[in-house]
Structures are given as C-alpha cells and as structure tokens.
Structure 1
Amino acid sequence: MARLIPTLCLFLVISAGAARAACVGTDLIDTLPPAERALVESETALQPFAEGNFWRATRGEQRVIVAGTYHLEDPRHAANLDRLRPFIEEAGVLLVEAGPEEEAKLKEAMAKDPSLMLSDGPTLPEVLSEGEWKTLSGALRARGIPPVLASKFEPWYVSMTLALPPCAIDAAKQPDGLDKMAMAAARDAGVPVRSLEPWNTVFRLFAELTPQEQLAMIRTALPLEDRVEDLAVTLGDRYFAGESRKVWEYMRLQTHAMPGYTPEAADAEFARMEETLVTRRNRAWMPVIEAAAAEGPTVVAVGALHLPGKGGVLALLDEAGFRLEKLGF
C-alpha cells in the first residue's frame, strides 16, 4: 500500500486527524512548484463533484442533505454546524458512519478482545530493518506509546497511529468534529441517529490486506514523519476549503516519484485503495440512504473524502436519479 493510507485514515476510518489550532505547519500543496500544483488541480478537476462539503440531493419528493465531515475539533466547525443544524432539525433521521451504539460496540470489543489489534505473527522489530525500527520507535515515543507495546500490534494499527501527529494527541482523546457536533444537534432536536455500516467495518477492511501490504504502510509513512504536521495542516485547511479530493490527488502524484514506484504502479495501488476503503463502503451505504430518504428528509454526515470521485456518494446519488445542488458551508 502507498504512503497515503496512514493520512487517509484521518478521513476514512477513525476519529483521528489534526486540530488546526494545535498543529503548526505549511500547506504542502501551496508550496508545490507551479507546474506540479497545476497538475494536482487538473487531476482533481477530472473527478465528478470534486469540490464542496455540503450538498442537497432531491428525487421527486425525496430530499437528502449530504455533509462532508472532519473528525476533530476545530473552531471553524461552528459556522458549518450553524448552516447544517436547520436541516438536521427538519430531518427524519441523521445517518453517520458510526452512531453511538456502533461506537460503544467498537470500544467494548477492543477492551474485551485486545487480539483485534495484536498480531499473531512476528513482532515489528523482527520484520523491520534496524533503522526502520529505530525511526518507528522515536515516532511512537513522540506520541506517548511505548515501542515495546506497539511492537506487538498489527502493522495497520501502528500505521494509523502514525497518521496522528504528536501535536494532535490531546485533541484526539476527545474528538469533537463536525460528525459528533451533528449527532449532538440531532439528539437535542429529538432526531434519531443511525449508522451506515456495522461497528466492525474497520477490522474487515484491513483484514483484506496482506502482512506485506500492512508493513508497507509503515515503511512508506516513516519518511513523512518530519512533515506530519504539514500533512495535518494540509488535510485540515483543504477540508475547510472544500477540497479534500485535492489531497488525494496530491498524494497520488507524490507517490509517482517514490523509490520503487512507477506512475503506473502507484496509480494501480491508489485505485485499489479507493475501491477498498472508499467506493465499496459508499456502495454499501446507498441502500441505507435510499431507504431513509423514502421515509422522509434525511441528513447524511460522513467523512469528506467519501463525497467526491466517480465512486463517491454524490456520484452514486446522481446515478440513482437524484438531482445534486451544492449548498456550500
């Protein structure tokens, strides 16, 4: 797997990311040479619904409000919630990736069965080079995790840990992003909250990866350790600009130049990642969304990277006969 996976976990899997106020860095897309930045822009423009985090989909009398979320606390969420709240108050249901019941089941399962995160194979020091383990150990200590403990984790779980920069550790302990704020608004309005997928989706997704692919997730993340705050700031700032897809295209193009990669190999890996981590989940969500829309006004609040692209929620709604209108935060 390409080095994109750890950073995309911020959007796709867990309530992890970087609070802009806590992390200080530079937007990496802004620092690109003009030609490279233009390429990122042009590749992003090829994707349907490439920009925007707030949409209305209508099909006959059915109405679905789609909000792309960012999972950690940020003061900029307040204005977005003000925009979203009236639609939640009028809705029959709020659909999210993981509702309160699913989150509780996940926490309970992880507490009762640590083997969900532990590997039954060789430890990380046994499969990584001495230099790789030394770098990884330093990165783990910076996040308050003893390397001896992490050495027994599944590699995918360690890579998710690397996705969270040290500057955001405190914020991640009590994630309060737009999705959580939307759920609180629904609770206040007496609107039911339902999950789009089972609680164990995370584990099923990563179980599909081979041990070699999981180790590659760590190996390709380690060279980014000195830029992890920049990546966090880039993710956050581009989200609030409605440009989450642009980060995907930026990382794909950056991977073209990685040692051991060709553009063709990188693009193939990214296509597989998108299918496994994004598109397949989006397709599975569609029957849930359509069933809810048939019952009444529906609000869908999911990670922003699920919205754009050929297999994004917006394109799937379009294919299902909904008319899409960008509302804008």
Structure 2
Amino acid sequence: MPDAVAARRLARRSRDGGRHAAFARRWGAFALTGAALLGVCSAFHLSAGPIGLAHAAGAAANTPAQAGRPAVPVPSLPAPPRATLPGFNPPPAMPGTTASGPVRAQPARMPFYVATRGTTTIYVLGTLHVGDPADYPAGQPFRAPILGALAASPTLALELSPDELLVSQDDVSKYGVCRRDCLPGLLPEPLWRKLALRLRGNPAAQDEIKKMRPWLASLVVETYDSLSAGLQTEYGTEAQLQNVYIRTRGKIVGLETLPQQMRAFTGLTLAQQREMLAQDLVQTPAENVDDVKTLHRLWRVGDADAIAAWQAAKSEKLARDKRISDSIDNRIVYERNRRFVSRMLLIAGPNKPVFVAIGALHLGGRKGVLQLLRQHGFVVDAG
C-alpha cells in the first residue's frame, strides 16, 4: 500500500474512530452494492473509521432488501450493543477436531462461472461484502478452480477500483448528507415515525440519520441489519480476493466509476428514495437478520440462479409500490448489469482472460450478468 494511502487511512481512523462506533463496502452494498456501499464499517469494530466503510457498504450492496445496489461508503453511525440485537445469534464456531483427528475446513463454494467465446475467457465470481472466517480457511481461502482462474488472469475487475473506493466517502457525504436535519421533512410522517421507532434504542444513531437524504438512510438501515447478522466486513470476498491476487499480479480495475455509482442514487426521485427506505422497514430487524443469514447460506452453496429466484421472491414481498420498486431495480441493478458487461467486453480479449468479482445478486436471472454474457455469444458454465 502506498505510504500516502496508508497515512490517509490512519488519519481518518484517528479523527473519526473515537467519535463513532459503528459505520465507517460496498456497495456493497450494498453496496451504493452491488459493490458500492462498500463504505460501511463493521458495526462491531468500534474503532474503525471511514475507511472501514470500504467493505461494509458492500454489506448493504448484497442485503436481501436492496439487492445489487452499489456499495458506496456509508457515514459512520453509533453501533447498537451487540448482545441486545433482536434475533442475533453468534456465528457457529470454527471447525475443530473429532475423534479421528482435525477437521479440514473447506472454503465456501461461492457462485463461480467460466464464460468463453472462442479464445476469450471471462471468469465471474459472485461476492458477498461481509462474511464469516469459516468461509475462507487460512490454508486455502478459495476453491482450486477459483485460485487457478486468478492465477491465469492478468486483470482482476471489481465493481469499483481500490483507488476510487478510498475516496468515495467524500462523495457520499457530499451528496447524501445535509448540513442540518433534513430527513424528517423529506419523509411522510408515518414513515419517519416508523424509522424513529426502529432506532429508538440508539438515540445517537437517530440524531445522525436525521441529516441524511432518504437513499442514504436506506443504505444505513440495510447495512445496520446486515452487520447485525454476525458477519464481518474483513471477510468480505473482495478483500480476501485482493489478499490472494496482489501477491502474484496486482492489476485491479473497476467496472464502473465512482460518479456512475453515485448517479444511481443521486438521480433517484424522492418517491423512489422513499420506496427504498419503506422496503427496509417492512420487516423486523430479526427478520432482516434471518434473510441475511439465508443469503449467506445460498452464497456458500454457489448457485446464482437460486440466489436470483430467492431475491425475486423477497422483492415481491417487500415492495410497497411495485411500479416504483421496479423502476428502482432497473436503475440501480439492471442498468448496472449492462454497464458491467460492456466493461468486461472491453477488458477481456483473445488469450487475455479477466477475473470479474461482483455482488452475487448481479449474476443470476434473465437480466443478470450471466444471461447478458450468453446474449453476447458466450458459453457460460459453472466453475
């Protein structure tokens, strides 16, 4: 890591870490998701500053409520006490030993696909921006086919490049945070009361969220619930991939720019922003935590179409206004899928494979990245 970057990270942590306890991917998320909300710091790392936002917003990017949303950094918020989170169950312990000896930990299967067209190859991995240590065993963090594909690829493509991710916090604050309390006036009174009730046990967080525009408040709520599921930002897929990849290669690019990700949110109408936030509050925090755990299990199994089908059912259930909800999905999921694929085709070339890692919720379904690659003449096989 360049010295200047390291110094900037340290300065931000020193400045903000002591003041706020919780949020610092992303996208994920969720993201602004898919990989862009990658800015949210783990709610359980009390000293993490804005850079922690770097892989947690990713949590929001891949939360069930707002699938595929970019994971831009979410401003820091006070964390809830871990022991009092509704529906929270600690993650299972790491594998230990049995009477026959040590249990060999296996990496998560993850959605992984190989797309080929002639001599052009694109490896596609579906990511989660938060995870469990058991997902990435120390001796072998990824399955052999994934490690082989990484070694064969001159380029690793993420939703956002690492350099843009570092500076994304400033843009999120610029466009998503007001100088004074604005959120109560931008929401219908019943929706504001519902949000205030959700945060009643955390008055400091309620004070902070009042200064956010509805789209950013939505991402904060999503990430808040996602991290409450007991998963950790340092075990997000992108961070683990870079740990492996930088040792042998080092060329990492973004599939979209930070301004492109930001426009996915800043261009939303007030009605669309309200719909986003309303969807986040349909279920209880415990129900949202259960959904995050379900998504994590499906991701470990590694079937992108099964994930897409589950997400479609969830979206149908959570939508308050289906027409508006569909318009949001088109803007921040499907338009981005098309942009991802266009960029992949520019990067990849004959005998020049590229390894693509994007939020798992972007892959499956009839408008997903895998289907778009098929429409461009690629044969797509599970890796």
Q: Give the TM-score band, short-chain normalised.
A: 0.7 to 0.9
1:278 is aligned to 333
What is the identity, as a one-letter code, of the residue corresponding to 1:82? R
Q: Could you say if the C-alpha distance between residues 273 and 130 of structure 1 is closer, same or farther in structure 2, counting changes exceeding 3 Å?
A: closer
Alignment of 1:87-126 (within 5 A): 87-110=149-172, 114-119=173-178, 123-126=182-185
1:57 is aligned to 115
Q: Could you say if the C-alpha distance between residues 291 and 195 of structure 1 is closer, same or farther in structure 2, counting changes exceeding 3 Å?
A: same
Please identify, of 305-314 and 120-129, the stretch whose mean Cα deviation from structure 2 is larger: 120-129
1:86 is aligned to 148
Q: Which stretches in structure 1 are left out of the alignment for 5+ residues?
A: 1-5, 26-51
Measure the CA separation in 1 of the matches of 2:328 and 2:190: 28
Q: Which stretches in structure 2 are left out of the alignment for 5+ residues?
A: 1-26, 38-57, 64-84, 91-109
Does 1:234 find its partner at 2:300?
no
2:77 is aligned to none
Does 1:294 find its partner at 2:349?
yes
Retained in 1: the 8 A contact 2:125–2:356? yes
Alignment of 1:218-229 (within 5 A): 218-226=277-285, 227-229=287-289
Measure the CA separation in 1 of the matches of 2:229 and 2:89: 15
Retained in 2: the 8 A contact 1:58–1:324? yes
What is the identity, as a one-letter code, of the residue corresponding to 1:68? G
Q: Could you say if the C-alpha distance between residues 317 and 179 of structure 1 is closer, same or farther in structure 2, counting changes exceeding 3 Å?
A: same
1:139 is aligned to 198
2:5 is aligned to none
> Greater helix share, 1 or 2?
1
Q: Secondary structure, in 3 states, of the residue corresponding to 1:163? A: helix
Retained in 2: the 8 A contact 1:308–1:314? yes
Measure the CA separation in 1 of the matches of 2:141 and 2:151: 15
1:202 is aligned to 261
Alignment of 1:113-192 (within 5 A): 114-119=173-178, 123-128=182-187, 132-140=191-199, 145-166=204-225, 168=227, 174-192=233-251
Does 1:66 find its partner at 2:115?
no
Shift of 1:221: 2.2
1:309 is aligned to 365
Q: Secondary structure, in 3 states, of the residue corresponding to 1:224? A: coil
Shift of 1:275: 2.0
Task: Give me the identity figure in percent.
Answer: 22
Shift of 1:89: 1.2
What is the identity, as a one-letter code, of the residue corresponding to 1:56? V
What is the identity, as a one-letter code, of the residue corresponding to 1:54? F
TM-score (norm 2): 0.65
Please identify, of 77-86 and 119-128, the stretch whose mean Cα deviation from structure 2 is larger: 119-128
Q: Secondary structure, in 3 states, of the residue corresponding to 1:220? A: helix
Measure the CA separation in 1 of the matches of 2:275 and 2:127: 28
Q: Secondary structure, in 3 states, of the residue corresponding to 2:143? A: helix
Measure the CA separation in 2 of the matches of 1:122 and 1:142: 20
Measure the CA separation in 1 of the matches of 2:201 and 2:141: 33
1:32 is aligned to none
Retained in 2: the 8 A contact 1:88–1:191? no
Q: Could you say if the C-alpha distance between residues 191 and 9 of structure 1 is closer, same or farther in structure 2, counting changes exceeding 3 Å?
A: closer
Q: Could you say if the C-alpha distance between residues 116 and 246 of structure 1 is closer, same or farther in structure 2, counting changes exceeding 3 Å?
A: same
What is the identity, as a one-letter code, of the residue corresponding to 2:336? R
Measure the CA separation in 1 of the matches of 2:161 and 2:184: 37
Shift of 1:324: 1.1
What is the identity, as a one-letter code, of the residue corresponding to 2:296? G
Retained in 2: the 8 A contact 1:24–1:233? no
Shift of 1:140: 3.5
What is the identity, as a one-letter code, of the residue corresponding to 1:240? R
Measure the CA separation in 1 of the matches of 2:379 and 2:223: 37
CA RMSD after TM alignment: 3.2
Measure the CA separation in 2 of the matches of 1:190 and 1:149: 41
Measure the CA separation in 1 of the matches of 2:283 and 2:382: 35
Does 1:16 find its partner at 2:59?
yes
Q: Secondary structure, in 3 states, of the residue corresponding to 2:356? A: strand
Measure the CA separation in 1 of the matches of 2:324 and 2:275: 12
Retained in 2: the 8 A contact 1:65–1:299? yes
Does 1:248 find its partner at 2:314?
no
Q: Could you say if the C-alpha distance between residues 55 and 170 of structure 1 is closer, same or farther in structure 2, counting changes exceeding 3 Å?
A: closer
What is the identity, as a one-letter code, of the residue corresponding to 2:367? G
User: Deviation digits for residues 187-232 of structure 1, max 9, x if unmatched?
Assistant: 0112411110102333200122111221232233223134221222
Shift of 1:171: 6.8
Retained in 1: the 8 A contact 2:28–2:359? no
2:379 is aligned to 323
Retained in 2: the 8 A contact 1:165–1:229? no
Measure the CA separation in 2 of the matches of 1:245 and 1:176: 22
Greater relative contact order, per chain length (Cα 8 Å cut-off, separation 6+): 1
Retained in 2: the 8 A contact 1:106–1:200? no
Shift of 1:239: 2.1
TM-score (norm 1): 0.74
Shift of 1:174: 4.1
Q: Could you say if the C-alpha distance between residues 102 and 169 of structure 1 is closer, same or farther in structure 2, counting changes exceeding 3 Å?
A: farther
